[in-house]
Structure 1
Amino acid sequence: MNNNSMNINTTPRVGGSGAVDHELVITSTFGTLLSVVYIIGVSGNVYTLVVMCHSIRFATSMYISIINLALADLLYLSTIPFVVSTYFLKDWYFGDVGCRILLSLDLLTMHASIFTLTVMCTERYLAVTKPLDTVRRSKSYRKGLAWGVWLLSLVLTLPMMIMVTQTTKNTPEGGVKRMCAPTWAPLAYKVYVTVLFGTSIMAPGLIIGYLYVKLARAGNKRSPKQKVLIMIFTIVLVFWACFLPFWIWQLLPLYHTKPLSLASQTHTCINYLVASLTYSNSCINPFLYTLLTKNYREYLKNRCILPVFMKLFSQTKPITLQYAS
Structure 2
Amino acid sequence: MSMVEDPFLDIWDILPNVTYNPNYVDSETVKNCRKSNVNNFGSKFNPAFCYINFLLSYLGNGLVLYIIYKYEKLNTVTNIFLLNLVLSNILFATSLPFWATYHLSEWIFGEVLCKLVSSAYFVGFYSSILFLTLMTFDRYLAVVHAVAAAKSRKRSYAFISTAVVWCISIIASVKELVFQKVWKSPFNGLVCEESGYSESTMAFWRLVTYYQQFLVFFLLPLLMVIYCYVSITVRILSTRMKEKCRAIKLIFIIIFTFFLCWTPYNVVILLRAIQRSSPDVECADSDSLDYALFVTRNVAYLYCCISPVFYTFVGKKFQSHFKRLLAKKIPCLRRHISLSSQSTRSTSQRTPHSDCEY
TM-score range, shorter chain: 0.7 to 0.9
Residue pairs, 1:27-38, within 5 angstroms? 27-28=43-44, 30-38=46-54
- Residue 264 of structure 2 corresponds to 245
> Taking structure 1 as reference, are residues 324 and 270 closer, same or farther at Cα in structure 2, changes over 3 Å only?
closer
Residue pairs, 1:234-313, within 5 angstroms? 234-235=253-254, 237-256=256-275, 257=278, 258-262=280-284, 269-294=291-316, 304=349
Unaligned runs of 5+ in 1: 14-18, 306-322
- Residue 47 of structure 1 corresponds to 63
Picking from 111, 114, 123, the partner of 1:96 is: 111
Whole-angstrom distance in 2 between the partners of 1:206 and 1:264: 29
Letter paired with 1:220 = L
CA contact (8 A) 1:76 1:105 kept: yes
State the Cα deviation string for residues 12-36 of structure 1 (Å, max 9, x = none). 99xxxxx999976863454334323
Whole-angstrom distance in 1 between the partners of 2:346 and 2:76: 14
> Taking structure 1 as reference, are residues 147 and 37 closer, same or farther at Cα in structure 2, changes over 3 Å only?
same
> Taking structure 1 as reference, are residues 252 and 94 closer, same or farther at Cα in structure 2, changes over 3 Å only?
farther
Offset at residue 86 of structure 1 (A): 0.7
- Residue 132 of structure 2 corresponds to 117
Whole-angstrom distance in 2 between the partners of 1:271 and 1:30: 11
Q: Secondary structure at the match of 2:281?
A: coil
Offset at residue 79 of structure 1 (A): 1.4
Whole-angstrom distance in 2 between the partners of 1:161 and 1:223: 51
Identity %: 19
Q: Normalised by the size of structure 2, how large is the TM-score?
A: 0.68
> Taking structure 1 as reference, are residues 253 and 86 closer, same or farther at Cα in structure 2, changes over 3 Å only?
same
- Residue 101 of structure 2 corresponds to 85
Whole-angstrom distance in 1 between the partners of 2:214 and 2:286: 26
Q: Secondary structure at the match of 1:249?
A: helix
- Residue 166 of structure 1 corresponds to 181
1:178 aligns with 2:191: yes
Letter paired with 1:130 = H
- Residue 339 of structure 2 corresponds to none
1:9 aligns with 2:23: yes
> Taking structure 1 as reference, are residues 38 and 272 closer, same or farther at Cα in structure 2, changes over 3 Å only?
same
Whole-angstrom distance in 2 between the partners of 1:130 and 1:142: 17
> Taking structure 1 as reference, are residues 88 and 66 closer, same or farther at Cα in structure 2, changes over 3 Å only?
same
Letter paired with 1:98 = L
Tell me how many residue pairs correspond in the alignment. 300
Q: Normalised by the size of structure 1, how large is the TM-score?
A: 0.74
Q: Secondary structure at the match of 1:85?
A: helix
Letter paired with 1:69 = L
State the Cα deviation string for residues 26-47 of structure 1 (Å, max 9, x = none). 6345433432332232112111
Letter paired with 1:145 = S
Offset at residue 67 of structure 1 (A): 1.9
State the Cα deviation string for residues 247-292 of structure 1 (Å, max 9, x = none). 3333323312233513998676545323422332244335414522
Q: Secondary structure at the match of 2:315?
A: helix
Q: Secondary structure at the match of 1:218?
A: helix
